[in-house]
Amino acid sequence: MASFHSPLTRMLVSSDGSTTRLLEAATAGPLSIRVLRQTVAPALHATLQGPAELLGLPADASVVSRYSALLDDQARPVALNHVVAAPAIDAPTDQIIADPSRAIGIALALHQIDHRRQLLACGLADWPSAPGPTPAVVRTYLIWRGRQPLMFIRELFDPARVPAQIHDAPRSRPAGQAVAAPHRRTRERADRSRPTSPSAPDYRLGSSDTERQRLLAQCDLLRPAARALLDRLPLPDGARALDVGCGPLGIMDLLSAAVRPGGQVTGLDTDERMIAWARESVTAGRLANVSLIHGALPSPALGDGLFDLTHCRLLLINNTQPGDLLREMAAVTRPGGWIAAQEFDWASWQCDPPHPAWDRLKTVIAEVFGGDVHIGARLPTLFREAGVARVHMAAHAFYWRPGDRYQTLLLHFAELFAHRITANGTPPDALQALTHALREHLTHPDTVVREALLVQAWGRTAERAPVP
């Protein structure tokens, strides 16, 4: 949150209390609510689908959708809200949602409903009342009562009252307070002024349903290794953990357990569909301490030094600037906190008996993959360059036989990247011959595939130097 320039904005987006009261204090005047539209609509509607999933409602459910504006004494909008809730939750909650005269936070307090807010995301969106595109602060959260999510709320704030500016340069620190890692002072941080809703994800494997299923199956496969990694990273009570490039689940289920009791997990991904799927995983797994942010690292929604553990898995291998990403991961981690990465190194990805089609396909795919497929081997150096003095390492390997899902992964990649491979100089018929030959070889009962090596690296960011 600390990346919003205005202290008011930072306070508002991280507040756990009534937004109306805070806005009234900030605007020095009473605010009134006007309900603009209230309907009961099928959850299948595009704008309601995500909220309904978060509320744990089935796809064929109906939801109450209420659009309202908080107005100042001259009837100018200060905030625009969208509330989504299941109809007929219980009498007091239904009454609160049906009451057009009160903001939700105030009504909850009035009815003495014990509740808490779970921030899901905050970032920038267009303020509709402005003549041209004008960024405004937006935040989404869930209101829970006990273990039941009561409602989903999206709030958009008038940028004239709630400043939307974000820091775009390294933040200055109080005099005498040393910065944890030297690079933070000397190097330019990457552009953190990007909004948290990037439109063009650069993940080359895409966000198809097939890729979602592949990633979720891979989560299952790699879960024991991830658990072993987390077992090595002692966390303080109430720890905050970040999973960068979380995809449809990443290791957020394990992190959710690792930070209990009292801790919080944030999942960050550039791809909107990945975040929607992650929401489904969070709802299905009842991971109440997990919030999601649609955004890219570096993200203005993340504060410096906020996390006790910042983790990524298979993020660096897909990026052309892995060093920058690791430095950003170190920057959002508190001094002395953990950063951890799990990345493949394709060097060990071989078949036995060997086959020339395997070698050739692996080469042409690596050329268009979009990142360094041997990144796992470079993790110690990259971690040191990111300010981690002592890097710990572990590795995991798998073997596959015909019939195992991952035995033919190279062929799946060849199909996925066919356009890029041919554009890069391999004629289509040559590519077809290669895949045909390899498919035959891989179906032979004696052919064994050794998977790429999963390399894990972890270490602590530098502690603050003692203040003289």
Ligand X SMILES: C[S@@+](CC[C@H](N)C(=O)[O-])C[C@H]1O[C@@H](n2cnc3c(N)ncnc32)[C@H](O)[C@@H]1O
Q: Are 265 and 289 spatial neighbours (Cβ–Cβ below 8 Å)? A: yes
Helix (H) or strand (E) holding 111: none
Chain-centroid distance of CA 353 in Å reads 40
The stretch near ligand X (CB under 6 A) out of 100-108, 239-247, 368-376, 433-441 is 239-247
Instruction: Choose which of 250, 263, 303, 335 interacts with ligand X (CB under 6 A).
Output: 250
Instruction: Choose which of 166, 268, 331, 382 interacts with ligand X (CB under 6 A).
Output: 268
Instruction: Choose which of 229, 258, 315, 373 interacts with ligand X (CB under 6 A).
Output: 315
Instruction: Choose which of 86, 120, 137, 219 interacts with ligand X (CB under 6 A).
Output: 219
Per DSSP, the residues of 330-381 read: HHTEEEEEEEEEEEEEGGG-EEES--HHHHHHHHHHHHHSSS-TTHHHHHHH
Q: How far is the CB of 249 from ligand X (least distance, A)?
A: 6
The stretch near ligand X (CB under 6 A) out of 78-86, 90-98, 212-220, 381-389 is 212-220
Give CA–CA dist 280/100, Å, rounded: 31
Give CA–CA dist 262/302, Å, rounded: 19
The stretch near ligand X (CB under 6 A) out of 14-22, 262-270, 369-377, 425-433 is 262-270
Helix (H) or strand (E) holding 268: strand 264-269
Give CA–CA dist 271/206, Å, rounded: 9
Q: Are 8 and 163 spatial neighbours (Cβ–Cβ below 8 Å)? A: yes
- The 86-125 contact track toward ligand X, x by CB under 6 A, reads ----------------------------------------
Helix (H) or strand (E) holding 12: helix 7-14
Nearer to ligand X, 121 or 297 (CB): 297
Q: How far is the CB of 321 from ligand X (least distance, A)?
A: 9
User: Identity (one letter) of the amino acid at 366?
Assistant: A
Instruction: Choose which of 24, 53, 155, 271 interacts with ligand X (CB under 6 A).
Output: 271
Give CA–CA dist 233/263, Å, rounded: 15
Instruction: Choose which of 70, 229, 274, 339 interacts with ligand X (CB under 6 A).
Output: 274
Residue with tokens 């891979």: 218
The 3-state DSSP class for residue 227 equals: helix
Instruction: Choose which of 319, 408, 447, 461 interacts with ligand X (CB under 6 A).
Output: 319
- The 287-306 contact track toward ligand X, x by CB under 6 A, reads ---------xx---------
Strand ordering across the sheet containing 399-400: 350-352, 448-450, 399-400
The stretch near ligand X (CB under 6 A) out of 11-19, 213-221, 282-290, 459-467 is 213-221
Paired with 269 in beta bridges are 294
Q: How far is the CB of 88 from ligand X (least distance, A)?
A: 37
Which residues would be at the binding site for ligand X (CB under 6 A)? 201, 203, 215, 218-219, 244-247, 250, 268-271, 274, 296-297, 313-315, 318-319
